[in-house]
Amino acid sequence: MIRTALLSKWHVHAQEYAEEAIKNEHIVLTHVWDEQKERGQAWAEELGLIFEEELDNIIRNSEIDAVIVASPTNMHTEIITKAAKHGKHVFTEKVLAETEADAAAILQVVERQGVKLMVSLPRLTADYYLYTQQVVDKGLLGKLTTIRCRVAHNGSVPTEQHPNGWLPQHFYDKKLCGGGAFIDLGAHPIYLTNRLGGQAKAVTARFTQTFNHEVDDNSVAIVEYQSGALGILETGFVSSGSPFQLEVYGTEGTLMIEDGIIRIRSINLQEGWHSPSEAELPKDAPSAMTQWVSEIRTGKKPDISYQDAYLLTLINDAARRSNEEGRRIEI
C-alpha cells in the first residue's frame, strides 16, 4: 500500500483528490497537514486521519510514502522540493510552480531523487482530447493554422446567494495564488494547446479585472508555435453559461468541440460535417492519480509527463510577464 498524507485543503479540488485516493485500492491515507490548523484538524477528523501541525514531521516520517499537495500555489516549490528530497512521491494540483525557473528546479530534484511526480492535468485523459490528437496525428486537418481553446466559468460573478461569487475568497489573493483566472483555470487551455501545437516560440497576453480583484478574472493569450500555427487561449471567472470549446483549424479541415459535441470537416473525408461514432471515439485514459499510482507500483510511464508540467508553467510564466510588461515574450 502507498501510505499517503494530504497536504492542505486550500484548493477547491482537495476534497476530490482525497475521495479518489480513498477509492484507490493501492492508497491508504494516514495524515493531514494544513497551513490553517483549524481547517486541517476538521478535515482530519472528518476523514478519520491523524492531523499533523508541523509539515516537516510529515516530510521526515519514513512511514509515509507519498503526499497529495493541494496547498496555495506559492507553497508548491517548497513543499514539493522538501517531499522529493525525503523520498516522497508527489501528486499535486496544477500549476507545478509559479515560475519556469522554479518548475525546472523542482523537476531536477524529482529526477535526482527518483520519486514519481504527477501534476493533475485531467483533460489530457479525456476522450475528446485523445480523439483530437488522433485527428491531428493522422493529418486529417492538414497543416495546423490555429488552435482556440476556451475554459471559463462564472465563479467571480456576484449573486444573491454569493455576493462575491462562489469561488473561495482566497482565490483572489495574488501572493497565495501567483495570479488569478489564467494561472488556475487557464491551465487547461495551456496544456491542451501545448500538446496540439508543439514547440512554442512566443506569447502575448492580456489580463483584466472585471470586479476589481487584485488578480485577473478575464484573460486571453496568443501563443505562436514554431510550426507557424497560432494558439488562442481564453479563460475567466466572469462568464455565465460559457461552454468548454476546443477548435482546431488546418489547411485541409476543421475540428470543433463544444462541451460533449464533436464535429469534423475535412477534404480527406466525405463532404460535410461528421461526428465520430462511439466506436471511433477513444475511451478516457486512466485518471492522473491512477497513472501516478501505476508508475509508483510498476514503473509504467504515465501519459501525463514532466514535460507537460514544465511547459504549463513555462507558458503561464511567459503570459504573466507579457501582461505585466505590455509586450510579446519570446521563449
What does the pLDDT read at residue 55?
97
Give the side-chain half-sphere CA count within 13 A for 137. 7
Average pLDDT, the chain: 97
Band of the pLDDT at 46, cuts 50, 70, 90?
A: very high
Instruction: Render pLDDT for 261-285 as a digit per residue (tens, 0 to 9).
Output: 999 999 999 999 999 999 999 999 9
Grid cell in block for residue 42:
476538521
Q: 39-59 b/e with 16+ CB inside 10 Å = b? A: ebeebbeebebebbeebeebb
Q: Is the pLDDT of residue 87 over 90?
A: yes
Band of the pLDDT at 111, cuts 50, 70, 90?
A: very high
What is the C-alpha to C-alpha distance for residues 164 and 109, in angstroms, rounded to an integer? 40
Band of the pLDDT at 10, cuts 50, 70, 90?
A: very high
Which residues, including other chains, have CB under 8 Å from residue 36's CB and lie 6 or more apart?
A: 10
What is the C-alpha to C-alpha distance for residues 130 and 196, in angstroms, rounded to an integer? 10
Of how many residues is the chain composed? 331
Instruction: Tell me the average pLDDT across 307-330.
Output: 98
Q: Is the pLDDT of residue 321 over 90?
A: yes
What is the CATH number assigned to the segment(s) 2-119? Answer: 3.40.50.720
What does the pLDDT read at residue 155?
95
Q: Is the pLDDT of residue 41 over 90?
A: yes
Q: What's the DSSP call for residue 130?
A: H
pTM: 0.95
What does the pLDDT read at residue 212?
85
In the chain, where are the structural domains located? 2-119, 123-285
Instruction: Tell me the average pLDDT across 176-198.
Output: 97
What is the C-alpha to C-alpha distance for residues 220 and 232, in angstroms, rounded to an integer? 7
CATH topology of domain 123-285: Dihydrodipicolinate Reductase; domain 2 (3.30.360)
Q: How far is CA 97 from the centre of its chain?
A: 11
What does the pLDDT read at residue 294?
98
Note whether 2-119 and 123-285 share their fold: no
Strands 261-266 and 230-236: unpaired
Instruction: Render pLDDT for 211-262 as a digit per residue (tens, 0 to 9).
Output: 989 999 999 999 999 999 999 999 999 999 999 999 999 999 999 999 989 9
Q: Is the pLDDT of residue 53 over 90?
A: yes
Which residues, including other chains, have CB under 8 Å from residue 259's CB and lie 6 or more apart?
A: 243, 244
Instruction: Tell me the average pLDDT across 155-171.
Output: 93
